[in-house]
């Protein structure tokens, strides 16, 4: 076991944390838009506008999830094995929800029957709410600890994961992603929809701040009771709460861009808090701390990590440049006047 912090195991643990931050920030506002769809979209045209704000980017945002999963498998196969076998049903529900949501984006415009579109709109809503909730539940269990035996096998079940602490975390993640989506819509829509999005952000912000504070305070209390505070500087979680509380004032002042930066930073800081609290563990055991999975007992060989590092250095800038260019191209606001006329029974998610 190398000493100090600077070694490839720590590097890849940090990189996986960065990938999850990227996923939650980008997919977070997708989830938020889908959650707000039935509340802000009063007719089909308005719902089309909402969907079109994320139409060009939602599938690209999901690449961060695939990359995080692939990096975990390659860098820490022991972590991947226990996580994906023990959390199988929860991850299966997330996967089904993401598939249904993706299909809904593509198929809602294939027919003009209002009932057809209404069912796919429901699918977008459920496919957004369920992952937004379950990701919070999952990561709360990772940091709190789940029953793992000496061989690294998960010995609980789905209901083990649905404990009060994890459910609070799930509500916090759902609320924060929805708030993130509301602020995003205030930047991406036109006319009356902007005001509706701002009103939603103002209404959500206080509740979300309370949920975030409850989750972070509970996390800290758990760490203290276990005599393990990790390496989390207090400024990290406190900044997340402060940024969330600032949202209603920023939105009321019309500082939508600053508000979006604030929700982005809040999501990033909360995710960083979880990873900092874990280190050097990757999955805590509630059975016995001796059974904790760490970056040492779950990692790949040194050679594998070296090869992965070289590939990451070469390809990561390319991916970031491409995704940045995509957001630049589709940076403009979307309104009803930008919708294509419904002249034929086919359409796409981006130009429906």
> What does the pLDDT read at residue 231?
52
Residue 177, CA distances (Å) to 89, 116, 172, 264, 314 in order: 23, 27, 8, 10, 31
Query: Which residues lie across from 293 on neighbouring strands?
Result: 283
> What does the pLDDT read at residue 246?
87
Nearest CA to 185 out of 67, 301, 32, 351 is that of 32
Q: Is the bond preceding 280 in cis, omega lying within 30 degrees of 0?
A: yes
Q: Domain residues of the chain, as ranges? A: 19-300, 304-331
Q: At what angle do helices 8-40 and 302-329 cross, to 10 degrees?
A: 30
> What does the pLDDT read at residue 186?
94
Q: Is 334 helix (H, G, I), strand (E, B) or coil?
A: strand
Sign of the CA dihedral 153, 127, 188, 203?
A: negative
pLDDT tens readout for residues 200-251: 999 998 899 899 989 988 988 887 777 665 555 567 778 888 888 888 888 8
Other CB atoms within a 10 A radius of the CB of residue 288 amount to 12
As a residue count, the chain comes to: 352
Q: In a 10 Å sphere around its CB, with 0-12 CB exposed, 13-18 middle and 19+ buried, how is residue 316 labelled?
A: middle
> What does the pLDDT read at residue 156?
84
User: What is the C-alpha separation between 180 and 188, in angstroms, rounded?
Assistant: 12
Other CB atoms within a 10 A radius of the CB of residue 120 amount to 24
Low-confidence residues of the chain, pLDDT below 50? 346-351
Query: In the 8-state DSSP scheme, what is residue 337?
Result: G
Nearest CA to 86 out of 150, 11, 148, 3 is that of 148
CB 330 within 8 A of CB 56: yes
> The pTM is what?
0.92
> Could you tell me the fold of the domain covering 19-300?
Formate dehydrogenase/DMSO reductase fold (1.20.1630)
User: What is the C-alpha separation between 136 and 31, in angstroms, rounded?
Assistant: 13
> What does the pLDDT read at residue 346?
47
With residue 34 as reference, give the H or E element that holds it: helix 8-40
> What does the pLDDT read at residue 254?
82
CB 285 within 8 A of CB 293: yes
């Amino acid at each position: 076991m190398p000493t100090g912090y600077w070694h490839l195991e720590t590097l890849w643990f940090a990189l996986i944390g960065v990938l999850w931050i990227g996923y939650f920030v980008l997919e977070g506002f997708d989830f938020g838009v889908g959650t707000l769809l039935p509340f802000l979209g009063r007719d089909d045209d308005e719902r089309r506008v909402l969907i079109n704000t994320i139409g060009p980017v939602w599938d690209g945002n999901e690449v961060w999830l695939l990359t995080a999963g692939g990096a975990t498998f390659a860098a820490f196969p022991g972590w991947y094995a226990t996580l994906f076998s023990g959390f199988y049903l929860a991850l299966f529900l997330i996967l089904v929800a993401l598939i249904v949501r993706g299909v809904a984006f593509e198929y809602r415009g294939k027919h003009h029957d209002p009932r057809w579109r209404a069912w796919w709109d429901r699918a977008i809503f459920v496919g957004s709410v369920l992952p937004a909730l379950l990701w919070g539940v999952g990561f709360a269990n990772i940091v709190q600890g789940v029953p793992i035996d000496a061989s690294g096998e998960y010995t609980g079940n789905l209901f083990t994961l649905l404990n009060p602490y994890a459910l609070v975390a799930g509500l916090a993640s759902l609320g924060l992603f929805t708030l993130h989506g509301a602020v995003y819509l205030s930047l991406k829509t036109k006319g009356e929809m902007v005001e509706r999005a701002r009103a939603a952000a103002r209404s959500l912000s206080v509740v979300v701040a309370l949920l975030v504070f409850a989750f972070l305070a509970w996390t800290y209390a758990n760490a203290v009771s276990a005599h393990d505070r990790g390496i989390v500087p207090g400024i990290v979680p406190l900044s997340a709460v402060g940024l969330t509380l600032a949202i209603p004032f920023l939105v009321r002042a019309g500082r939508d861009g600053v508000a979006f930066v604030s929700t982005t930073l809040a999501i990033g800081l909360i995710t960083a808090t979880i990873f900092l609290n874990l280190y050097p563990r990757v999955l805590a055991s509630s059975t016995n701390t001796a059974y904790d999975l760490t970056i040492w007992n779950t990692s790949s060989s040194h050679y594998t990590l070296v090869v992965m590092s070289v590939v990451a250095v070469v390809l990561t800038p390319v991916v970031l440049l491409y995704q940045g260019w995509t957001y630049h191209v589709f940076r403009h606001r979307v309104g009803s006047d930008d919708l294509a006329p419904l002249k034929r029974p086919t359409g796409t998610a981006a130009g429906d």
